[in-house]
Copies of this chain bind each other. A is one copy, B any other.
Amino acid sequence: MTNPTAAMLVIGDEILSGRTRDANMHFLAGELTKHGIDLREVRIVSDDHEMIVEAVTALAGAYDTVFTSGGIGPTHDDITADCIAAAFGRAIDVRDDARALLQAHYDNSGLELNTARLRMARIPDGAALIDNPVSVAPGFTVENVHVMAGVPSVFQAMVASVLPTLTGGAPLLSQSLRIMRGEGDIAGPLRLLAEEFADLSIGSYPFQKDGVFGANVVIRGSDGARVDAAMTRLAEVFA
């Protein structure tokens, strides 16, 4: 049995320019792994209508679930909601339920629900809202695409709302061993181990520290006993 698959689309000029370093992808990757969903692909594109539509269409067709982050705020560069509507051929407008959420929130805080803020109530037809306990403006789900905010605290809260609604698989278990030898020395035995434990994923991640080369060997699988067995063998081989 294979696990459900997922992809992520990060809409992020600020990441592509090197201004900020991604945090949402790293967070989502960890959550999905725990939930038994395989994150297979991530794409990062800029705030460009055509590129977002193309990426959403490709990913939604190829994977069970897609998560997007970024571009659903009130400013002129927030174009994600319109792109998602376009990708699915749906109309988009201010929706009453989303407007009511915002209205109540801004009434409460004594702020005006102005034209800019009302943009955050633009929801594609037929989408389900995703709860935003941090700053109220909702994300939304269209078919298999979950559209979420880019601000990390909001993104994380939305992931927490969405994840329980998804069918997970067997959580991926992993164990790792740090080996202070160059990859070239361990590659031969490692290949034999990978052939013997073909049901597991065995990865080697080299590093360099103070001029010395080493590798973290990571064994992943959903059957804990098999992972244990492979790790025992690995430790014997490189004892």
Contact = CB atoms under 8 A, between A and B. Distances in A.
A41 interface: yes
A27 B31 CA distance: 25
Nearest to A102: B184
Contact of A187 (B42, B74, B202): B74
Interface in A142-200: 150-151, 153-154, 172, 174, 182-188, 190-191, 194
Nearest to A73: B183
Nearest to A77: B203
Interface in A197-216: 201-208, 213, 215
A135 interface: yes
Contact of A20 (B18, B116, B150, B205): B205
- The range of chain A's interface size is 35 or more
Q: Can you tell how many copies of this chain the complex includes? A: 2
A220 interface: yes
Interface stretch (A44-52, A89-97, A123-131, A223-231): A44-52
18 contacts: A14-B205, A16-B39, A16-B40, A16-B41, A18-B28, A18-B32, A19-B205, A41-B51, A42-B42, A73-B183, A73-B206, A74-B184, A75-B183, A75-B187, A76-B190, A114-B184, A117-B187, A120-B184
Interface of A: 13-22, 25-33, 39-47, 51, 73-77, 111, 114-117, 119-120, 134-135, 150-151, 153-154, 172, 174, 182-188, 190-191, 194, 201-208, 213, 215, 218, 220
